[in-house]
Amino acid sequence: MHKRKRDIPDPLIKMGYEEEHLHFKSIWRSVMLFFTFVTLTYVAALGIFWWYNREALAQKEVKEPFTRHAPAPPNPLLQTNITAKTDIQALRQGETEQLNTAAILDKSKGIYRIPVARAIDLVTPRLPVAKDAKPYGGAR
């Protein structure tokens, strides 16, 4: 390998550039090792696919797919886009109504439903407060 004489000052060497050429033999070995690995992996994958395909073709009885037979009623039904939208709107409307209205769920057990905002107003005064606490959204 060719090496530069060290007694001749070179500004590139002072800047940190290498003095030696590339090691082409090492690079060539690495590239060939990589391509050998890729080729062997490809051949192994082909062998595995061939083995499984041979096993699948050897089966005498071919099973029909499940989709050819409809399940017993009540079977799954497909929805149109319009009914899907109206169903989700009705669901969201019911959820919103439950969150924002009061109701008696079980009077004998004392189970009531109150709106979320009202529940927050009832619980907030009972929460512990730090001595130096500033109000929410305090001084800026």
Which residue, chain included where needed, has tokens 């073709």? 57
Please tell me the distance from the alpha carbon of residue 65 to that of residue 108, in angstroms, as a whole number: 54
Please tell me the distance from the alpha carbon of residue 59 to that of residue 138, in angstroms, as a whole number: 75
Predicted local confidence at residue 140, as pLDDT? 47
* pLDDT, tens digit, 9 for 90 and up, residues 89-135: 999 999 999 999 999 989 999 999 999 889 988 998 888 877 777 76
Predicted local confidence at residue 18, as pLDDT? 72
Please tell me the distance from the alpha carbon of residue 48 to that of residue 38, in angstroms, as a whole number: 15
User: Long-range contacts for 40-49 (Cβ within 8 Å, ≥24 apart)?
Assistant: none
Q: How confident is the model at residue 38 (pLDDT cuts 50, 70, 90)?
A: very high
pTM over 0.75: no
More confident residue, 22 or 19: 22
